[in-house]
A and B are shown apart, each in its own frame.
Chain A
């Protein structure tokens, strides 16, 4: 498997855990991250993280 693809998937799995799992203490409280709704942030964050990795890989290649 492409190392970059594996790294992106690992980030995706970790991001899902950070944003959607773990002990919930505040019920349905809205959590904002940089003003973006959390549900949408998850996807954006993963995409951004993967893009960042790709960019850094290109720079070091």
Chain B
């Protein structure tokens, strides 16, 4: 048997949601914080387990402030949980106070012309040429730089439109050929839906991309003790 860890909170609850695959959900206390965990029979998870972990974290977050723990974190028993938390209790309590009540939104911007853009491995017409190769490399580099600059401009527009503090936004620029920007936004407690509507409005005004706004979710991206 092993404990699969779900989230950090500051106290146990009498009203506990079911744990992973319906297992009992236990709270392991360690000073000012503790960990919600399910007892499972194997460390190997499945795709369904990943989403069930999300369900458990959502259920905990609906009941109390919490910090989600990365899926797949297993420990042997309650003592091992306390050993992991040892020396980090205060910083985790601080993170819990900062973001534990807040919700996360995701804004994904997709290039409208991604399909029309030539790939790096596109066919070369004519005999091989070193100069042509270098010119293609230079053109590809310039195009990437242009994309990156555009993505950064989108990020600035989003931040301005949402009036968020920089600490509450995390951008990933051009994470793939199709995606211009993937942004995580930490919404104030109780304002996630309002902020989501605002994000949809701002993102839909950006040209050259189409937007998908997702969430609200537990604050996965911002759950850090550092």
Q: Mark A1-32, 1 if CB is under 8 A from B, else 0.
A: 10001100110111111111111111001011
Please tell me which one of the listed residues A15, A21, A34 contacts residue B46 in the complex, with CB atoms under 8 A apart.
Answer: A34
| Contact A13 B214, CB 8 Å, known A25-B85, A31-B73 | yes
Residue of B nearest to A18 (CB): B71
Residues of chain A contacted by B217 (CB below 8 angstroms): 14, 17
Residues of chain A contacted by B110 (CB below 8 angstroms): 9
| Contact A33 B46, CB 8 Å, known A10-B212, A13-B108 | yes
Determine if B43 is an interface residue (Cβ-Cβ < 8 Å): yes
Distance from B36 Cβ to chain A, minimum over Cβ atoms (Å): 12
Q: Give the dominant DSSP class at B's interface.
A: mixed
CA distance A24 to B69 in the complex (A): 6
| Structural contact, B44 and A21, CB atoms closer than 8 A | no
Interface band, chain A:
20 to 34
| Contact A1 B212, CB 8 Å, known A13-B108, A22-B69 | yes
Distance from A56 Cβ to chain B, minimum over Cβ atoms (Å): 14
Please tell me which one of the listed residues B45, B71, B108 contacts residue A22 in the complex, with CB atoms under 8 A apart.
Answer: B71
Query: Which of B5, B212, B217 has most chain A Cβ within 10 Å?
Result: B212
| Contact A33 B214, CB 8 Å, known A13-B106, A21-B70, A23-B70 | no
Q: Mark B198-226, 1 if CB is under 8 A from A, else 0.
A: 00000000000010101001001101110
Residues of A within 8 A of B (CB): 1, 5-6, 9-10, 12-26, 29, 31-35, 38, 45, 48-49
Beyond known contacts A10-B212, A21-B70: 19 more, CB 8 A cutoff: A17-B104, A18-B53, A18-B71, A22-B70, A22-B71, A22-B220, A23-B68, A23-B69, A24-B69, A24-B70, A25-B73, A26-B73, A26-B84, A31-B72, A31-B73, A34-B47, A38-B72, A45-B50, A48-B47
